[in-house]
Structure 1
């Protein structure tokens, strides 16, 4: 594996090249030290925006790139808890509500024609985020 770091602060990994020559890249917002763009080995981009506090505001996935649509938009409660997540209409999801009116939403990523769970989110009865599972 070969790693390259940014040329300004020499802290952030901007590319990884494996033994097969596959390359993934990243660009960073140095103000927050957070990634603003990644490109995987299939040249598929993910773009991130942040609010004035450095929290993720939007994520635009490969299918929405250039369309003006976001894949995910985040809204925050004043105490910095995520209170809403809006998935793109094209993002495959499954939503289940149990008898206690708790709702679980899982979004999926298409990896080589197989749908893999990528995010699972559980809301309580007042629609506030209760639990978040980042998936595999």
Structure 2
């Protein structure tokens, strides 16, 4: 989207849009796209489009199900960039063994994507089934 379109869409001045986008650009959260070269009858300079920077941050999401662990990495735009599925016999695992396995799998993914993204925003964990708040 072009900066010039952001102000009216959000009810803010163009100066405010310029200030905010300058800060976001300096932080690497957004990036400018090259101007579109083909314009149909437009006058003046082509609009400079801005977009979220997919490499600005990522999240690692872990889903623990019966006999499997799925790990996905999502980028700053919300796109899934990496996905792995690990088979694992979960019933006989102790809490310590499950935690060690999760740590190992998460660390392997983190080490794999660390150079691609500027920031690891978080790690989410989803567990299938009923979880007791008293004893886990």
TM-score normalised to structure 2 length: 0.26
Higher relative CO (Cα under 8 Å, sequence separation at least 6) belongs to 2
TM-score (norm 1): 0.26
Select the structure of larger CA radius of gyration: 2
Higher strand share: 1
Q: Normalized per residue, which structure has more helix?
A: 2
